[in-house]
Amino acid sequence: MQQSLNPNATTWHITFGTYATRLHGDDRPTVDREQNTRGQDFIWHDDERLKDAHDKRKGDAVYLTAAQRAVIESLIPGICERGGWEYRICASPLEGDHVHVLLDAKCSIEPDAILMWLKRWVTQELNKRWGKPVTSWWAECGSTKPVKNPTYLNNVYHYIRRQRTLPLTAE
């Protein structure tokens, strides 16, 4: 199914990770508060930085179970409706360490607010079903990327679709 941009809204690709599953200095590139400007290099593998990040954790890393991933995917369309955003697709991939959401929101809505509400409302339901984790379900930050062209929109839509835990029931 081809996706098209909504001329009256901003399409956002929002990603948020689970607690302590992606630490600065591990084998995957990351950014931090100081290195978070377009064009700056990523933080690459660094044993000393990884040890420091590991030592600062307040608990174990959180990996979502298959049941938790399925609940998240089933909740997000309703959460988008509650927030006044137009849901496109979401996924909580097999790795259990992050969530992707693709949605449209009024241009006046700040993406960080959307990220905050997504995490808050998903957390409330996870806490009801599984109790509160020792630390948090989620890493402190997340990614909010505006989708500005149809090629990227269709690529990210299909990328997210391939990572879903639950099958799509309707397109």
Assess whether pLDDT exceeds 90 at residue 135. no
Q: For position 99, what pLDDT does the model report?
A: 98
Angle 74-75-76 (CA atoms, 0-180°, nearest 5)?
100
Q: Looking at the domain assignment, is residue 48 inside a domain?
A: no
Q: Looking at the domain assignment, is residue 146 inside a domain?
A: yes
Q: For position 61, what pLDDT does the model report?
A: 79
User: Which of the pair, 114 or 136, is modelled with greater confidence?
Assistant: 114
Q: Looking at the domain assignment, is residue 131 inside a domain?
A: yes
**Into how many domains does the chain fold?**
1
Each residue's pLDDT tens digit, 68-105: 999 999 999 999 999 999 999 999 999 999 999 999 99
Assess whether pLDDT exceeds 60 at residue 34. no
Which residues span the domain enclosing 93?
10-20+57-162
Assess whether pLDDT exceeds 90 at residue 122. yes
Q: For position 56, what pLDDT does the model report?
A: 65
Q: Looking at the domain assignment, is residue 171 inside a domain?
A: no
Q: For position 171, what pLDDT does the model report?
A: 47
Q: Looking at the domain assignment, is residue 52 inside a domain?
A: no
By percentage, how much of the chain surpasses pLDDT 90?
Answer: 65
Q: For position 170, what pLDDT does the model report?
A: 52
Q: Looking at the domain assignment, is residue 147 inside a domain?
A: yes
pTM here is 0.82
Contacts (Cβ under 8 Å, ≥6 apart) of 55: none
- Mean pLDDT, residues 153-165 taken together: 96
In contact, 24 and 10? CB cutoff 8 Å:
no
Assess whether pLDDT exceeds 80 at residue 46. no
Please report, for the domain that includes residue 102, its CATH number: 3.30.70.1290
Q: Looking at the domain assignment, is residue 78 inside a domain?
A: yes
Q: Looking at the domain assignment, is residue 32 inside a domain?
A: no
